[in-house]
Amino acid sequence: DDHAGHDDHDDHDDHAGHDHGAHGHGSNSAGWAWAGAFRISPGTHVWTAEKVAGSYVHGEKSIKLFYGYSNLTDGEAAIAELEPSAQAAFSDCGKTMKVSGNTEGLLLGYDQHGAGMPAAAKPPALYNLEFDTSSWFSVWKFKSQIAKESTIVIFADHPAIELEGEAGHYFRDAAGTNIEPIHEVPDGGDVEKA
């Protein structure tokens, strides 16, 4: 079962030349504080979080995350395309899927039309990634639902840079290569549409 570890929930290495933008935290009226667009290939990818000064992300127990795919190669436009879905997901906590860190559970994202989403999480859906508080490091695997290189857009309630520590970048491919954003919206808010 690709969804092991999933429960329905009701209620860095050198980054020279790469600007992560402001490192504020918290959310806005849209519910998310950061968005990043990345170009990825088919396969499994990993999202990580590391304790810094003894705790994860300001002492939080989890990070909320929504992601989807876009056929657009322009990162800013891809974020704008998926922002309404992200806002809807962050507004509907009743469809949040809880996924514990350091489990074998896979996160299966979907495109803007809802393709590839597990039946338990029809869009809009939000992942609540729970940090493994017994460990200094938490890892989640993403199995991309794409046939060719595509843009993945990730929205989170904290800037992703806050997940990084000595172990390095928060998003990598299966070989461990960093996947850097092609565009970020560091502080959330409305995304200008061209």
Q: What percent of the chain has pLDDT above 70?
A: 64
What is the residue-averaged pLDDT of the chain? 73
CB neighbours (10 Å) of residue 127? 27
Torsion angle, CA of 152/157/159/163, rounded to 10 degrees? -90
Cα separation, 75 vs 94, whole angstroms: 29
Q: What is the pLDDT of residue 187?
A: 46
Cα separation, 56 vs 60, whole angstroms: 6
Nearest alpha-carbon partner for 88 in 28, 30, 7: 30
Write the pLDDT tens digit of every residue in 46-91. 888 999 999 998 889 989 988 888 889 999 999 999 999 898 888 8
Residues of the chain with pLDDT under 70: 1-29, 93-98, 100-125, 187-194
In terms of residues, how long is the chain? 194
